[in-house]
Structure 1
Amino acid sequence: MVKFEQIKGFVFDLDGVIADTSIYHGKAWHQLADELGVTWTEQLGNDLKGVSRMDSLELILKTGGKENDYTLEEKEKYAAEKNTNYLNLLKDMDQSAILPGMADFIRSLEEHDYKLSLASASKNSPLVLEQLGLAQYFKNRIDPSTLKHGKPDPEIFARGAEVLGLKPEECIGLEDASAGVKSINGAGELSVGIGDPEILHEADINFTDTSQVTLDNIKKAMDVMEMS
């Protein structure tokens, strides 16, 4: 069992962990689903969280029984259209979109000399971080276009530790989606799930919301794990 003192780095998802950009993603996918004639549901919106753009499009098409209706070129056009919708929605985003407590948590990590990296499937994460005023904390980012596999494959979180020059067991990964928690666990990192503990039951540590995510609370949770 890894001890708190052995942790040297934190690997962050972006959507739903640092900021609630999932709202903007959801609206943009909803717009596209309507255009494609696929019925939008809350379940479909949840299933898309933490999933790459093309995989999300495939899931929407499969939900509507349309997975074989379009060529790859057409699918790429629709994925690009969704991204344009998303970027238009993002124009109004500012620091008020940072989830409760996360700005303080990120600052506290820097103050305690932890290394930080971003493991987001979103190609727009640099833009989002700039608008949130947090880009300076995440100089280490994974370029999603260089990945061969999307979440729940462990590749992105494994790379998140690699870019920090750390072993996976020296890192904690933070996620709000089940696919992301699976990715963290598969990479051999300690997983912190933020959200419904029933949905994120595979996480090593659960917090119901971001305001609970502090170094002290993570240490307490790890101490309890060590004793059990």
Structure 2
Amino acid sequence: MNNTFKAFLFDLNGTMIDDMEYHTQAWYQVLTGQLGASLDYAEVKKEMYGKNAEVLLRIFGPNRFSPEEIEYLSVEKEKQYQAAFKPHLKLIEGLDAFLEQAHQAGIKMAICSAAITANIDFVIDGLGIRHYFGAIVSADDVTTSKPHPETFLKGAELLGMAPEACIVFEDAPKGVEAAANAGMNAVVLTTMHAREEFAAYTNSICFAPNYNDPALRTIFFKMPQTFNR
């Protein structure tokens, strides 16, 4: 095992579960179908980072919605997402074995996500993996979303680890930027974004389509032969 990294900080959506298209579809329906935003699907995909309230404010400005309306729209979007994704809920290929191997190796782990607490609970309790994580940081736990480093720094603090001892697992450029701002290196899962989209970030040490990628075993630990299944 690479002894440099003593803690793994995982983003959730697109990093642990391959669900970003379902988020995009839900946002597209809410933003264009319900609210009449003049955005195509690609533009919606580009804007859907950070907290739900931040997405709405970024697109419509600060005076369009009351706090109550923002809360309603956020809940509506998440209801649509969960209903669509629930039949497909599963970990990204190889992550089940990767989490168990990290656990057996004594690696501390946290989820550090811009998802709301209810969505994180939906995933980790639905998949029975809560026991792997010593800390969970959601959108509800931070003041400023990624690319601000608060999410990852709080995760490291809750695990009792220095930032330089943590490696971030991310799928989005803004998340890798947040890791850089926190002084952390990152592994990039190319589930939603191509490698070329991360060219501006020098803290990306590995790109992998899933957790069966041999590069991850080389960097962190030699996985058992059953890992590739």
Whole-Å separation in 2 of the counterparts to 1:17 and 1:143:
15
CA gap 1:213/1:100 in 2 versus in 1, 3 angstroms: farther
CA gap 1:160/1:88 in 2 versus in 1, 3 angstroms: same
Whole-Å separation in 2 of the counterparts to 1:162 and 1:106:
20
Aligned 1:17-28 pairs, distance under 5 A = 17-28=15-26
Q: Decide whether the 8 Å contact of 2:28 with 2:44 is kept in 1.
A: no
After TM superposition, the structure 1 stretch with the greater mean CA deviation from structure 2, 196-205 or 110-119, is: 196-205
**Which residue does the alignment assign to 1:126?**
121
**Which residue does the alignment assign to 1:83?**
78
Which residue identity is paired with 1:218? Answer: I
Q: Decide whether the 8 Å contact of 1:20 with 1:98 is kept in 2.
A: yes
**Which residue does the alignment assign to 1:115?**
108
SS at match of 1:91: helix
CA gap 1:21/1:139 in 2 versus in 1, 3 angstroms: farther
**Which residue does the alignment assign to 1:37?**
36
Q: Decide whether the 8 Å contact of 2:24 with 2:44 is kept in 1.
A: no
Deviation at 1:160, TM superposition (A): 1.2
Deviation at 1:194, TM superposition (A): 2.0
Deviation at 1:83, TM superposition (A): 2.0
Q: Decide whether the 8 Å contact of 1:117 with 1:139 is kept in 2.
A: yes
Q: Decide whether the 8 Å contact of 1:93 with 1:131 is kept in 2.
A: no
Whole-Å separation in 2 of the counterparts to 1:139 and 1:115:
7
Whole-Å separation in 2 of the counterparts to 1:73 and 1:126:
23
Q: Deviations 1:37-64 (Å, cap 9, x if unpaired)?
A: 123322421431x4221112223436xx
After TM superposition, the structure 1 stretch with the greater mean CA deviation from structure 2, 210-219 or 144-153, is: 210-219
TM-score with structure 2 setting the length: 0.82
**Which residue does the alignment assign to 1:101?**
94
**Which residue does the alignment assign to 2:11?**
13
Any unmatched runs of 5+ in structure 2?
222-229
Which residue identity is paired with 1:75? Answer: I
**Which residue does the alignment assign to 1:205?**
205
SS at match of 1:152: coil
Q: Deviations 1:80-104 (Å, cap 9, x if unpaired)?
A: 221222232243243xx31122222
Q: Decide whether the 8 Å contact of 2:120 with 2:138 is kept in 1.
A: no
**Which residue does the alignment assign to 1:223?**
none
SS at match of 1:113: coil
- What is the RMSD computed on CA atoms of the aligned residues? 2.3
Deviation at 1:183, TM superposition (A): 0.8
Whole-Å separation in 2 of the counterparts to 1:107 and 1:47:
34
CA gap 1:109/1:169 in 2 versus in 1, 3 angstroms: same
Q: Decide whether the 8 Å contact of 1:7 with 1:172 is kept in 2.
A: yes
Q: Percent identity?
A: 29
Deviation at 1:73, TM superposition (A): 3.1
Whole-Å separation in 2 of the counterparts to 1:90 and 1:215:
27
Q: Decide whether the 8 Å contact of 2:115 with 2:139 is kept in 1.
A: yes
Deviation at 1:159, TM superposition (A): 0.8
SS at match of 2:21: helix
Which residue identity is paired with 1:28? Answer: A
